[in-house]
Each structure stands twice: as C-alpha cells, then as structure tokens.
C-alpha cells in the first residue's frame, strides 16, 4: 500500500496530478481542493494517498491533508458512493463543512456536490452520523474538528515564518503523520519546523 508520495509536481489536469518521484511519474486522482493546495508545477509536492485496487485496474487518489483521506475512506464506505462521488464531495466541501453537515444531518449541503442527489445525500449524512459523532457539543465531534483547525493553523504559522505553501503543507503533513490525529497546534508547529529544517 502506498500511504503518501513525496516528489516534484510534474503536471495537473482537471481531476488529477502527476507526481514525479525519482523519475517515475505517478498519476494521482484528486479533488479540486487538493489540486488548488498542492502548489505550482515544478515545485516539491507531497500527497497523502489511497490505493484503489479493482479487478481490472489500480488507481491512486491523493489528498493535500490526511483528514481529507480519512473522509474519503468514510464516504466511500457508504453504499452508492464511489471514488468519483467522494472526490466531488471533497471538492465542494472542506472537511469541517462535511463534519458540520453530517452532525446537523444537513443533506442539502452534501447535495451541493456534483453527482449527489437528495436520496444519496440523505443516505450519506444518515450512515456517517454514527461513525463521526453528533453535533459539535459532544467530544466526538470536537475530536473531528480540532485536528483540522490545528493543522490549518500550523500551516499558517509556517507561512508567516516565510516558508512556501508547498513546504509548509509538506512539513505539517509529515508532522501530523508522526504525531497522530489528536496533535496540538504547538506540537505540530514544533515538529513541522524540525521536519522543514532537514
């Protein structure tokens, strides 16, 4: 299983990017948000990945942040949601918006994504509510939202220190992998700075 790719961004398309890792170009499917966040062509890039193995194909799907990959896994676990629909949802909504929609059972918000009708949106919010906790009053929902904010704030902190967006995202992503989903902002920034200095 390929957990992440770190290399140079070779090219991007409407729904994919090509990451050059040691002279091998990996075609990686991606959401519009990931493609916007990955950085300019020719620069260093890192994507968290999910490998999809089917009878007749093997595909990689990439994500700018680990939380997006986690949501992709949850979404594709819902009957009727394949990788394309999951990526459409992740293109239309960020991870905090998805968490809010599921907690509030807001099917209209999920239905904003291309290819998601009212019935599928209802099934998504219903099935995922049990898996991600309830409204932001409970600890389960807080655990879902806090890491997203912490990682975003850590990237922002590195940007304020003069790091380029791709460098900041890569360093925070690597720190997040080491520390796990419950990492505090302080711990993320400290480890990300050490990773970026290497």
CATH number of 181's domain: 1.10.8
Domain boundary among 132, 150, 185: 132
- If asked whether residues 59 and 78 sit together in one domain, one would say no
Q: Give the residue-averaged pLDDT of 62-70.
A: 92
Lowest mean per-residue pLDDT among 17-21, 75-79, 191-195? 191-195
**The model scores a pTM over 0.75:** no
141-186: per-residue pLDDT in tens?
333 333 345 776 777 777 777 777 677 777 887 888 888 767 788 8
- If asked whether residues 127 and 93 sit together in one domain, one would say yes
CA distances (Å), 124 to each of 37, 97, 118, 151, in order?
26, 14, 10, 26
Q: Give the residue-averaged pLDDT of 22-32.
A: 94
- If asked whether residues 55 and 75 sit together in one domain, one would say no
96-140: per-residue pLDDT in tens?
889 888 888 899 999 999 999 999 999 999 999 877 643 333 333
Domain boundary among 80, 104, 132: 132
Sign of CA dihedral 102, 103, 105, 109: negative
100: CB partners within 8 A, 6+ apart: 106, 109, 136
- If asked whether residues 72 and 44 sit together in one domain, one would say no
Domain boundary among 76, 98, 132: 132
The fraction of the chain above a pLDDT of 90, given in percent, is 45
Contact (Cβ atoms closer than 8 angstroms) between residue 48 and residue 3: yes
Q: What is the per-residue pLDDT for 149?
A: 57
> For all residues of the chain together, what is the average pLDDT?
83
Domain range for residue 55? 4-63
- If asked whether residues 82 and 120 sit together in one domain, one would say yes
CATH number of 73's domain: 1.10.150.20
Lowest mean per-residue pLDDT among 9-13, 64-68, 194-198? 194-198
- If asked whether residues 123 and 176 sit together in one domain, one would say no
- If asked whether residues 73 and 111 sit together in one domain, one would say yes
> What's the number of domains the chain is made of?
3
């Amino acid at each position: 299983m390929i957990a992440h790719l770190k290399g140079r961004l070779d090219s991007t398309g409407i729904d994919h990017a090509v990451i050059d890792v040691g002279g091998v170009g990996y075609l990686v499917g991606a959401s519009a948000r990931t493609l916007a966040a990955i950085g300019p062509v020719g620069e260093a890039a890192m994507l968290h990945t999910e490998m999809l193995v089917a009878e007749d194909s093997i595909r990689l799907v990439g994500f700018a942040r680990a939380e997006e990959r986690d949501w992709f896994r949850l979404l594709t676990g819902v009957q009727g949601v394949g990788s394309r629909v999951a990526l459409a949802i992740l293109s239309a909504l960020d991870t905090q918006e998805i968490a809010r929609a599921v907690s509030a059972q807001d099917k209209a918000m999920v239905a904003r994504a291309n290819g998601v009708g009212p019935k599928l949106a209802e099934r998504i919010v219903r099935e995922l509510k049990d898996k991600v906790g309830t409204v932001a009053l409970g600890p389960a929902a807080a655990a879902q939202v806090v890491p997203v904010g912490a990682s975003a704030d850590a990237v922002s902190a590195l940007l304020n220190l003069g790091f380029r967006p791709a460098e900041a995202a890569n360093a925070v992503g690597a720190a997040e992998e080491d520390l796990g989903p419950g990492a505090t902002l302080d711990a993320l920034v400290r480890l990300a700075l050490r990773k970026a200095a290497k």
